[in-house]
Amino acid sequence: MRATPNFLTPQAPPMKRRDFLTAGSLAAGGALLTSRLSFANTATNGKSRFVFIILRGALDGLAAVPPYGDRDYPALRRDLAMQANNVLTLNDTFGLHPSLAFLSESYGAHELVVFHAIASPYRERSHFDGQDVLESGLIRAHASQSGWLNRALESAPAGRISNKELGVALGQNVPLVMRGSAAVTSWSPSKLAALDEDTLERITDLYAGDPLLAARLAEALAADAIADSPLSADGGAAMLGASTTATAAGRSPNKTGGAARYTEVIHAAAEFLRREAGPKVAVFDTTGWDTHANEGAAQGQLASRLAALDAGLRMLKEQLGPVWNDTAVLLATEFGRTAAINGTRGTDHGTATAAFLLGGAVKGGRVLTDWPGLSSRSLYQGRDLMPTLDLRSVLKGVMQEHLQVPARALDSTVFPDSAAAKALTGLMRT
Amino acid sequence: MLERLTSAIAANRFGLGARPGDLDAIGSHSRDWLRAQLESAPPRLDDRQLRPSSEILVEALDLRREIQAQRRAEAAGDDTAAFTKLPQLLRPIYTEEATVRFRQAVLTDRPFVERITQFWTNHFAVSVDKNLLLGLAGSLEREAIRPNILGHFGDLLLAVEQHPAMLLYLDNHLSIGPNSKAAQNRARQHAERKSGINENLARETLELHTLGVGGGYTQTDVTSYAEVITGWSIGGDPGRHMRGEPGKFVFRPEFHEPGPKVVLGKRYPDTGYDQGVAVLRDLANHHSTARFIATKLARHFIADDPPEKAVERIAQAYTRSGGHLPAVYNALIDSPDAWTQPLAKYKTPSDYIVSSFRGLQVPLDTVHSPLASFELLGQRAYSPGSPAGWPDRSADWDGASALMKRVEWADAVGQKLGTRRDAAELAPQLLGETLTGTTRAAIAHAASGAQAVTLLLAAPEFMRR
């Protein structure tokens, strides 16, 4: 006897095979986190894990990583400028925003590299084209239906992972960066009851003549199979512990509603990545970084979003357990924001920004930047932080050293027209 | 044969999904059926429960001031109660707005006009995850969009750009010209707080509402147009600058950047409010706007990568008619490409839910929370998350997990309605000539009435339009 889900009549939600996810937190509130998480199984040595987190909306790199030691910085940010005593110090020039406590600890533990004055090749100021370039890996927007990460996976050496478990999808749909011919899928928690075997079989038959739906259904079933498979002796306990951990991570649930919204997606990411036979690469995106007005400084709108992100990353580390040592997490955004604050105590669309590479596999404790300075002469078009590091150099370095993607593939199919952006090596522990 | 194909396209692609009997009623008059829907004034919503945006906004702003005062009084005290007060006020408004709109979509006899409404709401997208938009997103559609979708684009544009929901969503209400009176006053009072523009609305107006991203504007045009619309604000708030009717659009001359401005190479003398209107009129008549809107319409109604011929036809109709929208829609109806590739569009979750409700005639008074379905399937009402709106291509919606959820949802609907609906009888009525033998056979051989309904909703031809 199956329960009927409660979208038509009020009743308790049914038990389902995907109950290992803590339910409920996504239902409330807005779309800070769009909760799209997609995975791919990469054919590497079977150990390395990679997580790519897209910060949609253009993260203010000068607020996330304030150059508090730059002499032109206070005048640009005026009363929103942060000072040595309220940043989490990285070195004499840079600090982390005070909300980024976990990142600060990771920096101290040599597990975080901070990149600054970094940008994709995109030089206009449209979010949507900027995100397209960030994800496609091309130099122009809307020039490709596939993403660089998918093409990188396609080029990764064949490994020990059986084809049967290729590609599992988390989150309802696959973002552009993961789309392409390498097998990937999407997965997200379901509050609906699972189909019975007979109905599922009939639908499978119904889709036999429809290549798209047949493939998607098969991918979804593969994802469910991995999600349902027993993890290890301690798996059950770890799953039960998840919601507690999440609450602890989001210390003030009312103020950092975003933290609660990360819970499901981070938890799901960890569940998949922890599995030996599961996917090795995950992508998800977060939104809410478009801080045009009342951005705040040490406290405020951006501060609470950064705190939620930081808490989510801490939770990811905790839940990955020993697998964290094989993991690299890259956080990037489509572009930065204006160097000066605007008339509404926020920042408009800019160019260069900050990015982060985090994880147990990362050779961290470093700020990598060719700092251009913030004098009016050194600003890009007189208004934005000047880009001096190509994001593709970082992506290439990580793909090459962490996922063993051959350099010639990175220079050709993965990042076409990227000759000028040489792979930045030495980012990973070896 | 052909008649059952075109009527299915009319009802499912142009409309919001066939109801039983619709295809027979449309018969061989598909194009006339669509044109007739454009001929009278836009349908009214059953909006007796809904309040004007100005009332909602005044109440919300009063409450916010009260919360802020309370916070100051209690210093760092526990402000949890204050934190939840605004959502408590706004969430029921949001629910009511979204529910009324959903009912309209399910019940309307002019589904083409309703789809057009949804298209424009998505074109001029706001998202309830920001500020007070939870209480205002519905009113933007109701007050600025709905009344203007069968008129000229220029009027639609003007109504949207000065609606409080849009001004708040894209931060223009506080944008202040650096040489305006307000900026000079403030500089005297707070030296460290410099006033200035916020270019958010200006950029998105050019990029997303009119010219499109390749439409020929530069950063200088964005900045300059942002200066043009300084002063486009909301009455009553903020505090000391009381002017205009509370909660309604107001032009604040004291915020307005003085002087002539150049946008897209044309010089606009400083005529205050009219300066912005003049720029918007020119933007509405720009050939890039015609192309951009034609491309989006063709993408929505024809194919993800729409044929150039259709785009050109629609753009020409736009230009020839001076942006008269019924002429534009008629060009779409007259595009042969719209009728030659059935099922070229993958349904969005919203399309999928609405067409299921229409097709199965789900009685709305038995539905506890129709909005929950939208959330479950990944398209929460009025929540695209960005001013670009929901994406409109298959790849954005056809993820594996998304499909599994649709199928599970179809199963839940089947369980609920199965014994009271005859899927075998409904299938040809809803899908016409697009119904395949495979689906027909699967429904015929279903193990139960419930499973038959599930299979109908899960069928490849029901996933698309």
* pLDDT computed for residue B132 by the predictor: 92
Instruction: State residue B119's pLDDT score.
Output: 98
Q: A216, B80: Cβ pair inside 8 Å?
A: no
Question: Which residues have C-beta within 8 Å of that of residue A153, sequence separation ≥ 6?
Answer: A40, A42, A43, A182, A184, A281, A403
Residue B372 is nearest to which of A7, A219, A224, comparing CB atoms?
A7
- How far, in Å, CA of A153 to CA of A166, rounded? 11
Distance between A301 CA and the closest CA of chain B, angstroms: 11
Helical H runs in B108-218?
111-123, 133-139, 153-161, 164-169, 181-189, 200-204
User: What confidence score (pLDDT) does residue A13 get?
Assistant: 37
Question: What is the full DSSP assignment across A234-294?
Answer: THHHHHHTHHHHHHHHSSSTTTTHHHHHHHHHHHHHHHHHT-TTS-SEEEEEE------S-
Interface test with A, best of B404, B415, B416 (most A CBs within 10 A): B404
How far apart, in whole angstroms, are the C-alpha atoms of residue B59 and residue A252? 28
User: How much is the pLDDT for A28?
Assistant: 27
> Does residue B348 have a pLDDT over 80?
yes
Return the half-sphere exposure (C-beta side, CA atoms, 13 A cut-off) of residue B125: 19
* Residue B46 three-state SS: coil
Tokens of A410: 């990175």
pLDDT exceeds 60 at position B346: yes
Task: Say what the pLDDT of residue A279 is.
Answer: 84
pLDDT the model gives residue B64: 86
Residue B2 confidence class, pLDDT cut points 50, 70, 90 = confident
- Can you say whether the dihedral through the CA atoms of A7, A13, A18, A21 is positive or negative? positive
What separation in angstroms does the CA of B193 have from each of A79, A341, B238? 7, 10, 16
* Interface touch A172/B442, C-beta < 8 Å: no
User: For residue A154, which amino acid is it?
Assistant: E
Nearest-angstrom CA–CA distance, B370 and B423: 22
Query: How many CB atoms neighbour CB B289 within 10 A?
Result: 25
For position B323, what pLDDT does the model report? 98
| Structural contact between residues B209 and B157, judged by C-beta atoms closer than 8 angstroms | yes
Nearest CB partner across the interface for A5, out of B199, B412, B455? B412
Instruction: Tell me B243's DSSP state.
Output: -
Q: Contact B459/A31, CB-based, under 8 Å?
A: no
Kindly determine whether residue B368 and residue A381, on different chains, have CB atoms separated by under 8 Å: no
Question: Which of these, B362, B348, B329, B451, lies nearest to B395 by C-alpha position?
Answer: B348
Pairs of residues, one from chain A and one from chain B, whose beta carbons lie less than 8 Å apart: 218
- The token pair that represents B40 in the structure block: 């009278």
Would you state the pLDDT for residue A99?
97
How many angstroms separate the CA atoms of B213 and A240, rounded?
48
**pLDDT digit string, tens, across residues B321-332:** 999 999 999 999
Instruction: Look at the alpha carbons of B127, B132, B138, B144 in this order and tell me if their dihedral is positive or negative.
Output: negative
Chain B positions touching A78 (Cβ under 8 A) are: 192-194
> Among residues 232-291 of chain A, which lie with CB inside 8 Å of chain B?
254-255, 287-288, 290
Tell me if B401 sits within 8 A of A224, measured CB to CB.
Answer: no
Return the residue matching tokens 């399910």: B106
B404: helix, strand or coil = helix
- Cβ–Cβ gap A381/B193 under 8 Å: no
Say if residue B135's pLDDT is above 70: yes
Half-sphere exposure of B337 (CA within 13 A, CB side): 22
Mean pLDDT (10-residue bins), chain A, 430 residues: 42 35 28 49 66 95 98 95 95 98 98 98 96 97 93 75 41 86 79 90 97 92 77 37 28 41 80 83 89 94 94 95 96 98 95 98 97 97 97 97 94 96 95
Q: Do B399 and A10 touch (CB under 8 A)?
A: no
CB contacts, 8 Å: A188 with chain B? 378, 401, 405
User: Tell me, what's the pLDDT at A237?
Assistant: 31
Q: Which residue of A has its CA nearest to B213?
A: A126
The pLDDT assigned to A33 comes to 39
**Segment B62-117, tens digit of pLDDT:** 898 888 888 777 665 555 666 688 999 999 999 999 999 999 999 999 999 999 99
**pLDDT tens digits, B379-426:** 999 999 999 999 999 999 999 999 999 999 999 999 988 789 999 999
Contacts of B304 in chain A (CB under 8 A): none
B73 Cα to chain A: minimum distance (Å): 19
**Candidates B171, B185, B401, B457, partner chain A, best to mutate (most A CBs within 10 A):** B401
Rounded mean pLDDT, B3-32? 96
Q: Cα B374 vs. chain centroid, distance in angstroms?
A: 15
Q: What is the dihedral of CA B213, B219, B225, B230, to 10 degrees?
A: 120
Interface test with chain B among A4, A79, A131, A173, by most B beta carbons within 10 Å: A173
Confidence class for position B461, pLDDT limits 50, 70, 90: very high
Chain A residues inside the 8 Å CB shell of B170: 292
User: Is residue B181 over pLDDT 80?
Assistant: yes
Q: What is the pLDDT of residues B144-155, one digit of tens each?
A: 999 999 999 999
Q: Is A198 on the interface with B (CB under 8 A)?
A: yes
Q: Do A343 and B196 touch (CB under 8 A)?
A: yes
Location of structure tokens 């004055």? A117
**Minimal-distance CA residue of chain A relative to B173:** A344
The shortest CB-CB distance from B198 to any of A194, A209, A344 is to A344
Q: Least CA distance to B457: which residue of chain A?
A: A203
Token pair belonging to A80: 């929103």
Calculate how close chain B gets to A234, using CA atoms only, in Å.
Answer: 27
Residues of A within 8 A of B127 (CB-CB) are 30-31
Q: Inter-chain contact B80–A254, Cβ cutoff 8 Å?
A: yes
Q: Are A246 and A263 in contact (CB under 8 A)?
A: yes
Cα separation of the two ends of chain A: 54
The answer to whether B409 contacts A141, with C-beta atoms less than 8 Å apart, is no
Per residue in A170-225, pLDDT (tens digit) is 668 889 999 988 878 787 877 888 899 999 999 999 999 999 999 999 888 888 87
Q: What is the DSSP letter of B170?
A: T
CB A189 within 8 A of CB A27: no
pLDDT the model gives residue A240: 27
Q: Which ipTM did the prediction report?
A: 0.93
CA distances from B345 to A252, B107, B391, B396 (A): 44, 23, 12, 12
User: What span, in angstroms and rounded, lies between the C-alpha atoms of A338 and B439?
Assistant: 55
Q: How many alpha carbons lie under 13 Å from residue B237 in its C-beta half-sphere?
A: 18
- Using alpha carbons only, give the angle B156, B158, B161 rounded to the nearest 5 degrees: 105
pLDDT of residue B160: 98
Tokens representing A197? 């075997």
Segment A368-396, tens digit of pLDDT: 999 999 999 999 999 999 999 999 999 99
Residues 6+ apart with CB under 8 A from A273: A49, A51, A279, A280, A282, A320, A323, A327
**Contact residues, chain A, for B123 at CB < 8 Å:** none
3-state DSSP: chain B helix, strand, coil percent, rounded to 5?
60, 5, 35
Residue B126 and residue B431: Cα distance in Å, rounded? 33
- Interval A143-165: pLDDT, tens: 999 999 999 988 887 653 333 33
A57 in contact with chain B, both atoms CB, cutoff 8 A: yes
Q: What is the pLDDT of residue A188?
A: 80
pLDDT at residue B81 in the model: 62
Asked if A178 and A150 touch (Cβ cutoff 8 Å), the reply is yes
For A358, the token pair is 């985090």
Report yes or no: B133 and B105 within 8 Å, Cβ to Cβ.
Answer: no
The answer to whether B378 and A200 have CB atoms below 8 angstroms apart is no
B369 or A391: which carries more pLDDT confidence? A391
Query: Contact B423/B458 with Cβ under 8 angstroms?
Result: no
**pLDDT of res. A230:** 64
Interface membership of A212 toward B (CB under 8 Å): yes
If one counts every other C-beta atom within 10 angstroms of the C-beta of residue A354, the result is: 29
The distance of B91 to chain A (nearest Cα, Å) reads: 10
For B197, the closest chain A residue by CA position comes to A343
Per the CB < 8 A criterion, the answer to whether B314 and B335 are in contact is yes
